[in-house]
A and B are shown apart, each in its own frame.
Chain A
Amino acid sequence: MVFCSFTFLLFFMPAVLLGHRIMPEKAKRPFLLACSLFFYAWGSSAWLLLLLYVMALDYFGALAMEKFEKRKKAVLAALLVLNLLPLIYFKYAVFLRDTVSVLTGLHIGMASPVLPAGISFFTFQGISYLIDVYRRDARVQRSFVRFGVYLSLFPQLVAGPIVRYTDLEEQLTLPAEVDLQDMRRGMGRFAVGLAKKVLLADAMGRFWGKMSVSLTSAGALGAWLGLIAFSFQIFFDFSGYSDMALGLGKALGFTFPENFDRPYRAQSLTDFWRRWHMTLTTWFREYVYFPLGGSRRGERRRDVNLMIVWALTGLWHGAGWNFILWGVYFGVLLMLEKRFLLRHGWYERLPGPLRQAGTYLLVLLGWGFFAGKWAVFPAMAGLYGFSSAQAALDCLSYLPLLLLCAGICFLPKINIPGRRWAAPVLMALCLAALAAQGYAPFVYFQF
């Protein structure tokens, strides 16, 4: 089930929030677990078994680590392998098969599995729990229901934010009382997130779709504006989902970590990755970069570590060379930034807007790799001419919305009067857009 579907908006969400509100204290957690499993099973009940497998594996695995204290390293290694196997099979098997076929010319007969929604997210959450327990950063959770709620809580189950166990450990043990004001705030944030997704991301996606379907006719104008629209689409899509997740979490009495902090206002790439998909960046820093040694073992080792982390980050986003290239692209740029750009004071003396524009430009080119539409680069370079008449008309018609998105992304936050009416108005506009245009699943579901 996705948040921007009528099934969710008209039935699941109101029923769960009202049910959770009136449920006796003891029944709240089991109720949430049942609802989350129902949420995941809707549309793909077969994958429920996979989620239950990961849930049982990590729950009992942590207990085993506690029991076999002396051999907990071996237990953890086995658990990590068992956690990663389904992810590797479902997400990367086809990529590996195709790569081997291309390199060796061998034909490997293997069916292409369908990717279960959110597998990268709940697998990473499970791993974070195991490692935290192993490091004694967290205590073993003895209640299966509470652990199940942590791993499968529907607001963040399929597209994050990636909640580390230590972020939620205390909240899972506290009484599940929810203040009405928190519910109201949570619902307001949900409406804002839904609007980001339905009104902005989907519209930007339609525009990028129009331009990318024929970049020879889109020309330089269509390619530039199209890729900018794609950068807005992916931001509003994902940050919208995160807002909805945080809002729903709030309405259910949970506080999840923030996932975005106006990333296109970043003034360097290091800054950008502190603001974009913050929970994933934190996860890789905590569970990959630091264990590899981080920056403590000299510059050269730090650079190697950076490249490993960024190749993995690219691979996490998708099984394709374009994603790996995208990750390596950022790895190289971050390495250069740390070695040269940020080391000397001159970069800091440049005007802020210039640094912001330069950073955005590099991120934008990165989205070109991410999209995997290679023709966008020659089109942007003007090799296909300026633009066709139809593409120019489309660009012009989307210009006000592009400017609105740019204003939200690039300018400082402003206080808009009449914000108390924002949530109902946005909700009505979202229902209208969904009724008129149908719904589009989230971009980040594929990760």
Chain B
Amino acid sequence: MKEKRFLPDGAVVYGGLMLLLLLGVAAFVFRQDFSAWERRYLAGTPENFSLSRWTLNDDMETYLSDQIPFRRQLVNLDSAAQAMTGRAVQLDAWPLGDAMVEKPVQAEQGAMLRRVEALRGLAGDIPCLFLTPPTAGMLRMGEMTAARRVVYEQESALYDFLTAQGGFVSLKEEFENSAEPVYYRTDHHWTLHGAYLAYRAYCRAAGLTPLEMDAFAVTEYAPFLGTTYSRSGLPFARADTLQCAEPLWPVTMTVQGEEETWDHLIFPGQAATYDGYAVYLNGNHGLLTIENPAAAGGTLFICKDSFANSLIPFLTAHYARVIAVDARYYAGTFNQALREAEQADAILFLYSLDSLANDTSIPRKIEKP
């Protein structure tokens, strides 16, 4: 006996199969090279593909997985399904209230200490400071369930252990007491306010007098959806407003390997791209030099990750030359960059807890004695 159906069997069978086939064909017709929301290049058509070389099926799967139509919606659907079935902490960034925070950093204390000592050895006799911000999750533990809080408490203990070492500038108290948000909701970086608090703390530790915020021209860019948003894969998020501080005094910025010289540190054109955070210093560079001839201080040499990008404009007020090296993009070693700088009056190691624990490029840039 025929069952009563909402749609005729033929429509379901032919429609369903044709739809699947169309999705497959569309993956080849509407191929894309770059996924802006994921911030990554997508797989290209498997090379040398032919029916007689069937060993390429893994390449084909990667290609179809990357190029399937509505990929973003499908990833959103999967992330939402995971979150709704209790597995939010299995996503690459964890939803917390109206924000997405990074997973807690897990590292062995001894291994981290060895890395810190190696960096300190690089400085030799030059005065050096370490600046590592507490993570957004660490600061918002009070909003979490007990099970989540426990793992962030471990991260917090790691941070306390680290910042108890000599030369570290702890930002925990300052950040915890801040009335304004110190982290973006959708990005792992600190806000302009967070960077400014870090700048003040650095100045105190380095014996400098920090400038007030009104010494800088503050600009805003919205909407800004950052890295934790895209890594979570979740469909909905309250977008941020990106704030930037531009020095009001003349500066020149040069990037190793590029001929152009810039007279500004903020690049508004980047705000509309997939990597909005690149409005600071035009993104990450291997080696960057910023000069302010009017500054009283000498040369500040910074070994850094992207957290430094929003802090560097503040520091240009105090140093005639700021040299910033990013291990991920710099071909040489830190020692080499330091030698080429000829003179450095102070060194700042500015790394997030995650970089300090997990960025394998950092130890590779330190020459063995």
Contacts and interface: CB of A to CB of B under 8 A. Distances in A.
Interface in A363-413: 389-390, 392-394, 396-401, 404
Contact of B78 (A15, A393, A394, A433): A433
Given A44-B54, A397-B86, A436 B106 contact: no
Interface string B104-135: 00100000000000000000000000000000
Given A184-B9, A184-B13, A429-B81, A436 B74 contact: yes
Interface of A: 1, 5-7, 9-11, 13-15, 17-18, 21, 41-45, 180-181, 183-184, 187, 203, 206, 389-390, 392-394, 396-401, 404, 420, 424, 427-429, 431-439
A389 B81 CA distance: 24
Contacts of B57: 1, 5, 7, 42-43
Nearest to B86: A400
Contacts of B54: 41-45
7 contacts: A5-B57, A5-B61, A9-B20, A17-B13, A184-B9, A184-B12, A394-B90
B245 to A, nearest CB: 37
A14 B21 contact: yes
Given A44-B54, A437-B78, A420 B6 contact: yes
B142 interface: no
A390 B106 contact: yes
Given A43-B54, A184-B12, A436-B78, 17 more contacts: A1-B57, A10-B27, A10-B68, A13-B17, A14-B17, A18-B21, A45-B54, A181-B2, A389-B150, A393-B148, A397-B90, A398-B87, A432-B77, A432-B81, A435-B71, A436-B74, A437-B78
Contacts of B147: 389, 392-393, 396
Interface residues of B, number: 49
Contacts of B5: 420
Interface string B1-19: 0110110011011101110
B21 A180 contact: no
A390 B58 CA distance: 32
A11 B78 CA distance: 22
B75 to A, nearest CB: 5
A45 B53 CA distance: 8
Nearest to B26: A10
B158 interface: no
Interface in B20-40: 20-21, 23-24, 27
B79 interface: yes
B177 interface: no
Given A11-B24, A400-B85, A424 B16 contact: yes
Contacts of A187: 12-13, 16-17
A85 to B, nearest CB: 25
Interface in B140-178: 147-148, 150-151, 153-154
B201 interface: no
A1 B21 CA distance: 17
B24 A393 contact: no
A392 B21 contact: no
Contacts of A433: 78, 81
B15 to A, nearest CB: 10
B60 interface: yes
A420 B5 CA distance: 8
Interface of B: 2-3, 5-6, 9-10, 12-14, 16-18, 20-21, 23-24, 27, 52, 54-55, 57-58, 60-62, 64-65, 68, 71, 74-75, 77-79, 81, 85-90, 106, 147-148, 150-151, 153-154, 233
Nearest to B104: A390
A399 B86 contact: yes
Nearest to B55: A43
B61 A436 contact: no
Nearest to B6: A420
A230 to B, nearest CB: 17
B89 A394 contact: yes
Nearest to B233: A436
A206 B60 CA distance: 23
A141 B61 CA distance: 38
A249 to B, nearest CB: 15
A126 B147 CA distance: 54
A18 B10 CA distance: 11
A429 B84 CA distance: 13
Lowest 4 A-B CB distances belong to which pairs?
Answer: A10-B24, A6-B64, A436-B78, A400-B86
Contacts of A42: 54, 57
Nearest to A393: B147
B16 A397 contact: no
Contact of A434 (B14, B65, B88): B65
A435 B89 contact: no
A23 to B, nearest CB: 14
B79 A398 contact: no
A6 B46 CA distance: 14
Contact of B77 (A5, A203, A428, A438): A428
Contacts of B154: 389
Q: Which of B58, B62, B71, B147 has the most CB atoms of chain A within a 10 A radius of its CB? A: B147
A130 to B, nearest CB: 30
A191 to B, nearest CB: 9
A429 B24 contact: no
Contacts of B58: 43
Contacts of B52: 45
A432 B147 CA distance: 28
Given A14-B21, A42-B54, A180-B9, A429 B86 contact: no
Contacts of B6: 420
Contact of B61 (A7, A400, A427): A7
Nearest to A395: B147
Most buried by A among B12, B13, B18, B27: B13
Contacts of A9: 20
B150 A431 contact: no
Contacts of B78: 429, 432-433, 435-437
